């Protein structure tokens, strides 16, 4: 059973006059003139308050580890999940193709159907490829009971999520399935780990929880060590400060799905990229994707790589921004500027700007540098349309060719077109039948 | 053999006209008019550059754990070490008396001599009492080879360092000597732990390393878990985010002692308080203490405790500020404001002010919120005298009666008198024989 429960429709509507401006500078934080002044709509406001309240009420806990085909709703042996909105094989970018081909070899198959992780209550960073035999984390929102899933983070360097698929990559994935996953599952038998509490503490320890996870990984390491995780698995986690990324992504997915399905709500419940297209889903119409071409992140590059080598934006990790973390919580993580560029002041400014397009401040995600103001949470499609402020995403940058891997990290702005399309679609579906 | 190698002299010189102003507001960061315009002295400047360079070159590593009487220079069974400048039994404040009496019972003695930790290359937080049988950490500055020592942190609540000395307190100290100390010693047999690297990372993770140690404790926990520390000892460390305090204090002590003994240098190499008096030691005359009455910290109080319950400033932990951490690195730790008071902006302002009285910026202690500027390091007595800016110290607050324990945390300014006294003393010792 897929989450969407029926045929998926993809709406790629554009605002052609914006295209040039969008391509010119994806990361600038300058004020833009309002695109459109919307008439206040108390019914939509009420729907949004109901939806975002569910997001804020989320209490994500790591409850277990299982094999994808056994625990992910609708997963099957002849299916590969991928990041972002729906995509055909032929449209896959270099790193996505590399990851899909690696997963096929891992599973010993010649072909498989493709569906988004998001459609199956799952999320995966970068290519986000999940195959039937992979171990996945199970995260439950204690408040709603909703469960979400993510694969386990492979570490840095040559890894499947960046499109590398040589034998060493597949060997590591086999070890993760046979050793790490079961080890973690045993460690969790004594009870869930409170990810909400770790998220709150991590924001007070310099993580923004999209590109910086050293504090959160340290705290989950402490929990796992106390539960007797094997030395081998502890060493693996210790070598990879991104280990927590997949856990916070599943936390955010569970919280966002709790907020999905409120009639008329213009709250964004997914932002995701497949390396070719960027897509959003909205609470009032969660079965529909609104998409546009994915932009290319701008940032700092490793070694001799340059902007020309960068793949378009890729990964489900923008679920962290959808939940008010990552780029939205940059004020909590001035050290992230060493990875994605900018200064301590631009990091603060980025968070302050995101309050303009969000419905709430999340008291579970307090930012010390803003005197413990809650992070800007719950993107409202209408506010994005009114202000023209594009959601800011912190992200890793993949090489555009398969198998080379991460070449940098940086910032990217969500394209405006999907927000305009979602606005028009929801407005047309209103009783009065026409956009304002 | 004591560090001072001879009779200790204590100079308590005052500037009577300042006393009222000092007592009025110990924590304000307002600009003050210069106290005295000093004639530039290239010889002193050169001496200070030599001294502070040694402080900056320090590479502290945790190399072992031993029993105080076996490893601390000059330690003996009939001696108790205490925090701050030299002190007689009769002058001990409530929490200091409680800690000294507890240590006597722990050692099964009726009496003991008293000497400062600092004189024996050791440091201890709050009462800072070290007795012969206690386990101590051994920290070595790899650059100078200098070793410094500290006791192990007991945790929160009723603990000896705040003057509690009931049977439960002594039982915990016995467990630390019989189990925790030997466990840690075994874990370190595979090689030292690089505390300098942890200090640098912790400042990027919201610790200022005097009152916030969650990140640093997490990182040292990771190291110890990977070395197979017992589950019992890991649990003890996990319950106490202050575990790292004693390690960073020993790091700072080693670095500061490396800078001690440069003729004519006005660099401060110790700031320490015994609950009654505040004292400093200066590089050019390290055998001498310059003291004044300890001020009372101003801060936030637990439960129904108030400012009236607060003991005067106590502990060797101001060695962290002497090394450019703690109050000097507050800009790295906006979350500390929840513990000591103030706002994110006052935390930044505190660090910025401390650059006015320090000789260098420590590139091993970068502050992300200041765009990775090195923390203000190396207090120059002359600059304090010229500007009237009093060093800012983050500190825990003890109840003034023995055995009650911690009642809050806050900020305190070092009294100016010891700096004036040190300046006059060093200036008189110059070839021209008179203060400028």
pLDDT tens, B370-418?
999 999 999 999 999 999 999 999 999 999 998 788 899 999 999 999 9
- Condensed to tens digits (0 to 9), the pLDDT of residues A300-326 reads 999 999 999 999 999 999 999 999 999
Closest partner residue to A235 (CB to CB) among B226, B343, B370 is B226
pLDDT value, residue B112: 98
Q: Indicate if the pLDDT at residue A9 is higher than 50.
A: no
Do B231 and A226 count as a contact with CB atoms less than 8 A apart? yes
CATH class name, domain A9-56+261-428: alpha beta
ipTM: 0.89
Whole-number Å distance between alpha carbons of A209 and A219: 13
Do B368 and A226 count as a contact with CB atoms less than 8 A apart? no
Q: Indicate if the pLDDT at residue B218 is higher than 70.
A: yes
Tell which of B197, B207, B209, B218 to mutate to test the A interface (max A CBs under 10 Å): B218
Q: Indicate if the pLDDT at residue A356 is higher than 80.
A: yes
CATH 3.90.1700.10 fits B9-56+260-428, yes or no: yes
Distances in Å between the alpha carbon of A74 and those of A83, A106, A115, A319?
16, 20, 10, 21
Do B60-250 and B9-56+260-428 fall under one CATH topology? no
Tell which of A219, A334, A343, A349 to mutate to test the B interface (max B CBs under 10 Å): A334
pLDDT band at B432 (very low <50, low <70, confident <90, very high): low
CATH class name, domain A60-250: alpha beta
Percent of chain B's residues with pLDDT above 70: 90
Q: What average pLDDT does the structure give for chain B?
A: 91
Do A344 and B206 count as a contact with CB atoms less than 8 A apart? no
pLDDT value, residue B434: 52
What number of CA atoms fall less than 13 Å from residue A230's CA on the CB side?
A: 11
C-alpha dihedral, A222 to A226 to A231 to A234, nearest 10°: -20
The mean pLDDT value for A182-206 works out to 98
Beta pairing partners, B425: none
Whole-number Å distance between alpha carbons of B173 and B179: 10
- Condensed to tens digits (0 to 9), the pLDDT of residues A26-67 reads 333 344 445 667 888 999 999 999 999 999 999 999 999 999
Written as six digits, the tokens of B238 are 């996990």
Element of type H or E holding A348: helix A344-354
Collapse the DSSP code of B115 into the 3-class scheme (helix H, G, I; strand E, B; otherwise coil) and give the result.
strand
Beta pairing partners, B193: B62
* Sequence spans of domains, chain A: 9-56+261-428, 60-250
Report the predicted TM-score, pTM, of the whole model to 2 decimal places: 0.91
The mean pLDDT value for B114-141 works out to 98
The mean pLDDT value for B146-173 works out to 95
pLDDT value, residue A436: 46
CA distance A240 to chain B (A): 12
Phi, psi values for residue A150, rounded to 5°: -150, 155
What number of CA atoms fall less than 13 Å from residue A243's CA on the CB side?
A: 22
- Condensed to tens digits (0 to 9), the pLDDT of residues B289-326 reads 999 999 999 999 999 999 999 999 999 999 999 999 99
What number of CA atoms fall less than 13 Å from residue B44's CA on the CB side?
A: 21
C-alpha dihedral, A66 to A71 to A72 to A76, nearest 10°: 100
pLDDT band at A340 (very low <50, low <70, confident <90, very high): confident
Do B368 and A219 count as a contact with CB atoms less than 8 A apart? no
Beta pairing partners, B272: B279
Task: Identify residues of A whose CB sits under 8 angstroms from chain B CBs.
Answer: 201, 204-207, 214-215, 218-219, 221-222, 225-226, 228, 231, 234-235, 238, 333-335, 337-338, 343-344, 368-372
Q: Helices then strands (H, E): number in chain A?
A: 15, 17
The mean pLDDT value for B2-9 works out to 41
Residue ranges of alpha helices (H) inside B315-416 are: 319-322, 337-340, 344-354, 381-387
């Amino acid at each position: 059973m897929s989450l969407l429960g029926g045929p998926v429709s993809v709406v790629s509507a554009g605002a052609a006059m914006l295209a040039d401006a969008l391509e010119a500078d994806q990361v600038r934080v300058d004020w833009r003139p309002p695109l459109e002044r919307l008439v206040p709509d108390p019914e939509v406001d009420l729907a949004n308050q109901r939806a975002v309240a569910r997001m804020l009420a989320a209490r994500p806990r790591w409850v277990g580890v299982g094999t994808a085909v056994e625990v992910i709703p609708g997963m099957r042996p002849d299916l590969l999940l991928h990041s972002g909105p729906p995509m055909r094989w032929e449209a896959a970018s270099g790193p996505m193709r590399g990851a899909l081909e690696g997963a096929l070899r891992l599973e010993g198959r010649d072909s498989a159907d493709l569906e988004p992780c998001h459609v199956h209550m799952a999320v995966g960073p970068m290519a986000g490829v999940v195959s039937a035999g992979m171990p996945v984390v199970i995260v439950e929102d204690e408040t709603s009971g909703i469960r979400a899933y993510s694969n386990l983070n492979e570490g840095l360097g040559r890894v499947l999520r960046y499109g590398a698929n040589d034998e060493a990559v597949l060997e590591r994935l086999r070890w993760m399935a046979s050793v790490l996953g079961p080890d973690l599952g045993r460690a969790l038998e004594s009870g869930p780990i409170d990810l909400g509490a770790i998220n709150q503490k991590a924001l007070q320890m310099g993580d923004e929880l999209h590109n910086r996870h050293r504090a959160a990984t340290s705290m989950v390491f402490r929990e796992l060590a106390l539960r007797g995780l094997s030395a081998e698995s502890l060493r693996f986690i210790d070598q990879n400060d991104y280990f927590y990324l997949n856990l916070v992504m599943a936390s955010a997915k569970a919280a966002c799905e709790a907020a999905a399905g409120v009639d008329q709500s213009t709250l964004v419940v997914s932002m995701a990229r497949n390396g070719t297209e960027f897509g959003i889903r909205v609470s009032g119409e969660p079965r529909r994707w609104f998409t546009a071409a994915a932009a290319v992140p701008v940032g700092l590059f490793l070694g001799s790589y340059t902007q020309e080598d960068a793949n378009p934006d890729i990964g489900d990790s923008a679920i962290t921004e959808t939940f008010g973390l990552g780029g939205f919580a940059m004020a909590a993580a001035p050290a992230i500027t060493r990875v994605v560029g900018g200064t301590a002041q631009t990091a603060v400014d980025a968070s302050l700007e995101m309050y303009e397009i969000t419905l709430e401040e999340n008291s579970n995600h307090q930012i010390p540098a803003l005197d413990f103001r809650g992070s800007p949470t719950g993107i409202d499609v209408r506010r994005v349309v009114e202000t023209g402020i594009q959601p800011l995403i912190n992200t890793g940058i993949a090489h555009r060719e398969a198998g080379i891997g991460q070449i940098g990290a940086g910032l990217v702005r969500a394209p405006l077109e999907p927000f305009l399309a979602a606005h028009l679609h929801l407005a047309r579906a209103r009783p009065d039948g026409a956009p304002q």
